[in-house]
Chain A
């Protein structure tokens, strides 16, 4: 093992392929074959095949039953409804996704919509920011985490 460094350098200089050298790691059998399908289901869930449960049932009877249910439900719901639709029922992540994917406003544009002189500074100053919120923010916004360590290490 005395000349390991030399051997490592020698092997490194001879390396020319994209395939990894042996490092002792292995993967479960069939892992790579199944990966594409698992990812497809996560990224495109709407394309998952739907199997019809009872294809022989008449569409007309189903449509009629559905119409009756909707009519009754609407009457009862609208009759009893006291609360108006508001933002409280929306998940923050849904609103964020909508803003990012549908509205396509950059963070700068969003900031312009809320001028800084309207910000409630006391709320900002008195509210404690959780460590995990900071981590999540840095994870989402900092491209090179190394930048934060500049001048710290070596």
Chain B
């Protein structure tokens, strides 16, 4: 059995699950954190979503049948949690998801946990203007350096569709910056 399979077996065993959960958190906390952070942009929000993600993973590990890789499954949960967080917040404020993200990007300038320069801020502004799927694909490909096959497993979209989304995203970002 692979390390991942061993971890899943331990998580499903009442005797070993506490230690296995600790190992799971240690192994994936940083990767999932950065993935969520690029979606919700703010550290405190990311912390909330990340904790909810791990709790959901723990509560649903009995339903994990190994049809996909464990980390793909966790990425999928993290992505859904982050997107639902944004939808919930924007719904409460009565704005669209993109308007909510525009506001969050504006706040980055005074965010103590954002040390980006002008071009990094510009990139975030451009990303906030993209449709959801293009934004996700760009973040996962460009920042997380994930393979299209892995992104496909997380988002449930074909590799061809992902390549098209990534291409469109880069074109739009380029146009966004040139048009400024």
Contact = CB atoms under 8 A, between A and B. Distances in A.
B143 A23 contact: yes
Contacts of A28: 43, 113
A144 interface: yes
A92 B142 CA distance: 44
Interface centre among A9, A23, A26, A146 (most CB of B within 10 A): A23
Interface residues of A, number: 41
A154 B130 CA distance: 12
B145 A16 contact: yes
Given A18-B145, A39-B54, A25 B116 contact: yes
A30 interface: no
A8 B38 contact: no
A43 B84 CA distance: 22
Interface of B is mostly: helix
Ranked nearest first, the 10 interchain pairs of A and B with the lowest CB-CB distance are A24-B116, A5-B174, A15-B145, A24-B120, A20-B34, A5-B170, A36-B25, A26-B113, A12-B142, A1-B177
Interface of A: 1-2, 4-5, 8-9, 11-12, 15-18, 20-28, 31-32, 35-36, 38-40, 42-44, 47, 131, 135, 139, 143-146, 153-154
19 contacts: A1-B122, A4-B174, A5-B171, A8-B142, A8-B170, A16-B145, A17-B145, A23-B143, A25-B41, A25-B115, A28-B43, A32-B30, A36-B29, A39-B55, A42-B55, A43-B54, A43-B55, A43-B58, A145-B80
